[in-house]
């Protein structure tokens, strides 16, 4: 048996955890630079607000209904996600974290002493009590059926957020009420082709010949059909595969025209890339750095990229920041308003398979980097870092509606009155 634990409107729900006063108000969370809506709670959905729509189009409507607007608070979301996953992990022998707001639990042949429905309700209740996040819990004999159960818990029946598909009748009932496009692994394009063949629901998809669909589409569609029929085809490695490339890139909070702002931003991204490299025990040989103007603005267009090859692999923040600082000279062009820049590690090697050069000058200090990472882990991201990225830079991402960083900033610790 598998269970899918899925947080409801995670970003919006996370904003309510430390601010009970807004729990019954419409809450909308915006993307980077406060441009579009990336998450909204049920109260906001009832106003007709759509996900991924531009914020400026509904700004007046939201103000009329006393909605709460929040910029993306990634530090808060990361903390609450980790806490939610920790609570969920205690309920099964194995856990697979699928995304920031979803995880699968695998029970194998283990059975709880209580009915699965009661067990799912206990998971849901425990996550709420310990983290204050509302979650759906769907159970099925395969990961795909667990996804279907999660859908059923949200959209069908009592909409309690709990669904257990452990009988043929329960599975057929859920699949018959589920549009084929809502099936995990079936996107819009494939769904359109399936509809042209008379396959409108998930149940009709499950009843179709899997081998025929493999010939028409792919082995992934065949696996989806088999999973809907209770045959497990999806398995996860115990360890995640390392990324082959690592990027850090972001649009400026406002157009940038100075060399200093570009240099600081590139150094900031280089520091982020170095942190990600160390996190997966990798080093970089080749770095790409780029910047460009806004392609949609009625201003002079500009796009340029440069590369830097290290004499030996490194994940030392100082080496990457130095490379970024030097690259800014080649990337900068006077009288150009820049919209975005970024840094990418495009040739990566595993530190366990590194081939050293006894004649090359060392470009990294592992113990220093371990110390820096430990400080940032304990006291919050960016507690210590490269000075080259600037202090309170004007180019940083616009987050005008940012909520307090309750869990990573000493100044933002909630105050309790009694």
Name the residue with tokens 């840094």. Answer: 343
Name the band, by pLDDT with cuts 50, 70 and 90, for residue 377.
confident
Question: Which residue from 168, 230, 175 is spatially nearest to 204, judged by alpha carbons?
Answer: 175
Confidence at 395, pLDDT banded by 50, 70, 90: confident
Query: In this predicted structure, what is the pLDDT of residue 405?
Result: 83
- In this predicted model, what pLDDT tens digit does every residue of 62-110 receive, in sequence order? 999 999 999 999 889 999 999 999 999 999 999 999 999 999 999 988 8
In whole angstroms, what is the distance from residue 171 CA to residue 1 CA? 14
Query: 378 or 380: whose pLDDT is higher?
Result: 378
Tell me the C-alpha to C-alpha distance, in Å, between residue 14 and each of 50, 120, 398: 19, 21, 20
Residue 391, pLDDT score: 79
Q: Which pair of tokens denotes residue 406?
A: 């309750």
Average pLDDT value for residue range 295-304? 87
Per residue in 227-280, pLDDT (tens digit) is 999 999 888 765 556 678 999 998 887 888 999 999 999 999 999 999 999 999
pLDDT at residue 253 in the model: 78
Contact (Cβ atoms closer than 8 angstroms) between residue 288 and residue 304? no
- Domains, the chain, with CATH or none: 77-228 (1.10.150.20), 246-389 (3.30.1490.100)
Place of tokens 């729509």: 53
The confidence score (pLDDT) of residue 417 equals 77
Calculate mean pLDDT across residues 132-157: 93
In the chain, % of residues over pLDDT 90: 64
Q: What's CA 2's distance to the chain center, in Å?
A: 22
Q: Give pLDDT, residue 255.
A: 86
Q: What is the pLDDT of residue 389?
A: 87
- Residue 2 β-bridge partners: 106, 140
Question: What predicted TM-score, i.e. pTM, was given to this entire model?
Answer: 0.76
DSSP string, 392-403: S-TTSPP-TTPP
pLDDT for residue 398: 78
Q: What percent of the chain has pLDDT over 70?
A: 96
Residue 355 contacts by C-beta under 8 Å, 6 or more apart in sequence? Answer: none
DSSP H or E run through 263: helix 259-279
Q: Are strands 162-164 and 135-140 parallel, antiparallel or unpaired?
A: parallel
Q: How confident is the model at residue 392 (pLDDT cuts 50, 70, 90)?
A: confident
Residue 146: band (very low, low, confident or very high) from pLDDT cuts 50, 70, 90: very high
Residue 104 β-bridge partners: 4, 96
- Centre a 10 Å sphere on the Cβ of residue 56 and count the other Cβ atoms it contains: 10
Burial status of residue 221 (CB atoms within 10 A of its CB: 0-12, 13-18, 19 or more)? buried
Is 142:227 a contact under the CB 8 Å cutoff? yes
> Which tokens hold the place of 228?
């809907």
* β-sheet bridge partners, residue 164: 139
Question: pLDDT tens, 329-371?
Answer: 999 999 999 999 999 999 999 887 666 665 555 567 889 999 9
State the average pLDDT over residues 315-327. Answer: 95
């Amino acid at each position: 048996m598998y269970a899918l634990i899925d947080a409801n409107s995670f970003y919006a729900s996370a904003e309510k955890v430390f601010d009970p006063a807004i729990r019954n108000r419409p809450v909308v969370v915006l993307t980077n630079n406060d441009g579009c809506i990336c998450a909204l709670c049920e109260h906001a959905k009832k106003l007709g607000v759509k996900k991924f729509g531009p914020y400026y189009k509904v700004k007046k409507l939201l103000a009329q209904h006393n909605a709460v607007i929040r910029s993306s608070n990634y530090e808060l979301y990361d903390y609450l996600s980790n806490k939610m996953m920790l609570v969920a992990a205690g309920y099964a022998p194995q856990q697979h974290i699928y995304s920031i707001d979803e995880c699968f639990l695998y029970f194998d042949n283990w059975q709880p002493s209580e009915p699965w429905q009661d067990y799912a309700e206990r998971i849901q209740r425990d996550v709420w009590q310990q983290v204050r996040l509302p979650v759906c819990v769907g159970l099925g004999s395969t990961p795909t059926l667990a996804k279907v159960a999660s859908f059923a818990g949200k959209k069908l029946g009592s909409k309690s957020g709990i669904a257990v598909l452990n009988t043929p009748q329960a599975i057929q009932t859920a699949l018959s009420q589920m549009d084929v496009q809502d099936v995990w692994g079936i996107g819009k394009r494939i769904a359109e082709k399936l509809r042209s063949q008379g396959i409108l629901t998930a149940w009709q998809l499950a009843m179709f010949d899997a081998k025929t669909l493999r010939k028409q589409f792919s082995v992934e569609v065949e696996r989806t059909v088999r999973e809907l029929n209770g045959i497990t085809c999806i398995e996860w490695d115990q360890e995640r595969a390392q990324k082959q490339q690592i990027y850090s890139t972001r649009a400026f909070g406002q157009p940038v025209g100075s060399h200093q702002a570009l240099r600081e931003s590139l150094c900031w991204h280089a520091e982020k890339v170095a942190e990600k490299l160390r996190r997966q025990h990798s080093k970089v040989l080749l770095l790409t750095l780029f910047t460009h103007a806004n392609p949609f603005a009625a201003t002079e267009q500009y796009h340029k990229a440069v590369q830097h090859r290290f004499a030996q692999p490194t994940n030392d923040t100082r080496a990457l920041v130095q490379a970024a600082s030097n690259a800014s000279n080649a990337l900068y062009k006077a009288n150009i308003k820049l919209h975005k820049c970024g840094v990418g590690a495009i040739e990566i090697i595993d530190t366990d398979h590194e081939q050293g050069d006894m004649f090359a000058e060392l470009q990294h200090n592992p113990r220093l980097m371990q110390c820096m990472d430990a400080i940032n882990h304990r006291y919050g991201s960016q507690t210590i870092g490269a000075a080259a990225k600037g202090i309170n830079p004007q180019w940083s991402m616009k987050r005008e509606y940012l909520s307090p960083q309750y869990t990573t900033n000493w100044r933002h610790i909630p105050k309790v009155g009694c």
